[in-house]
Amino acid sequence: MRKNLRWAIVVSAVATATLVPSASEAQERAAATGFLLQGALVAATPMTSSSGAGFALIGLGLGGSLRLGGMLDFAALALEVNYASLSDDDSYVGEVKLGPLAEIFLWRSGDGAARLYALAGVSFGAHMTRQDAAMPGLPDSEDDTFVAGLKLGAGGMYFLHPNFPIGLEVGVDNSFVGADDTDIVCSFFAALTLGLVAGS
């Protein structure tokens, strides 16, 4: 009888250990790791400085980013494609940039669903301007040139589901426009992010 009781206790303990996840397993299940697809809707206030002059606010720009990479335990690493534009009735300024970006996790909640991170990225691409002619009969002006970017900021994300994080980012995105006579465009931005993690 005692032998049967001991076997029953052992079987019960094994079944409990198998069916009930440990705290570490529960934390891992709160956020998946794997392939990352993340989009960002960006609002920015660009300020421009030409050849070292003082900065001047030039309006509110809207843009978007698409990131392809991987969600890891310590960071999200991705290749980012970034588009931003600023326009009015007779002019347009736009940028398309591509480069690596990292979201380094600095803090996470006990269940791993909420995370805060530092954001850093570099990029290269094209800067495009269009200006309508001041008078009828004159040609419109166009200029396409090289641009390099440096993005620094901070953000947070929350996993609504282990595979679907949503978040908010703020920071500075500096653009260095032109190779010879370089103009600097400094943009303070806020972005809403939505991601898909294909993993477990």
pLDDT for 72 beyond 50: yes
Cα of first residue to Cα of last residue in the chain, in angstroms, is: 45
CATH 1.20.1740.10 is held by the domain 2-199: no
Cβ atoms within 10 A of the Cβ of 189, count?
21
* CA dist list (Å): 154 to 33, 60, 165: 21, 20, 16
Task: Give tens-digit pLDDT for 166-188.
Answer: 999 999 998 898 877 788 888 89
E strand spans, the chain? 34-50, 56-57, 61-71, 75-87, 91-108, 114-131, 141-161, 164-177, 183-199
pTM attached to this predicted model: 0.76
Task: Give tens-digit pLDDT for 11-35.
Answer: 454 444 444 444 454 444 578 999 9
